[in-house]
Amino acid sequence: MIGTRFAVAVALVLSLAAVALGVVALMSTIRDDGPQTGRLVQTRITNAYTGDPLFFPIDDFYMSRGADGRMHALYVYPAGFFGHDRGCRVVWDATTTLALPGSTKGPGLFLDPCGGARFDRDGTLLAGAADRDLDQFTMSAVPDGLVVDTRKLFCGAGPESASTPSIFATPTPATPEPARECTRVTRDTP
DSSP result, 110-171: EE-TTT--EE-TT--EEESS-SSSPPEEEEEEETTEEEEEEEEEEPPPPPSSSSPP-TTSPP
Is residue 32 included in any domain, yes or no? no
Can the peptide bond before residue 143 be classed as cis, meaning omega within 30 degrees of 0?
A: no
Residue 187 lies in a domain: no
Cα separation, 149 vs 179, whole angstroms? 15
Instruction: Using alpha carbons only, give the angle 126, 128, 130 rounded to the nearest 5 degrees.
Output: 95
Contacts of 81 (CB under 8 A, 6+ apart): 115, 129
Range of the domain at 133: 40-182
pLDDT of residue 22: 75
Diameter over CA atoms, the chain: 98
Asked whether residue 7 is assigned to any structural domain, the reply reads: no
CATH number at residue 106: 2.102.10.10
122 within a domain of the structure (yes/no): yes
Residue 36 pLDDT: 55
pLDDT of residue 63: 94
CA nearest to 60, candidates 2, 170, 135, 162: 135
Please give the model's pTM, rounded to 2 decimal places.
Answer: 0.68
pLDDT value at position 32? 46
Nearest-angstrom CA–CA distance, 155 and 84: 12
The pLDDT of residue 165: 43
For the chain, 190 residues long, give each residue's pLDDT as a single digit of tens: 677 888 888 888 888 888 877 776 666 555 444 555 778 888 888 888 888 999 999 889 999 998 888 899 999 998 877 676 778 899 999 988 888 777 778 788 999 998 889 999 999 999 888 888 999 999 998 888 899 999 999 988 886 543 444 444 444 444 444 468 887 776 554 4
SS3 of residue 104 by DSSP: strand
Query: What was the pLDDT predicted at 160?
Result: 53
92 part of a folded domain: yes
Q: Is residue 23 part of a domain?
A: no
Whether 189 is covered by a domain: the verdict is no
Give the count of domains, the chain.
1
On whether residue 135 sits in a domain, the answer given is yes
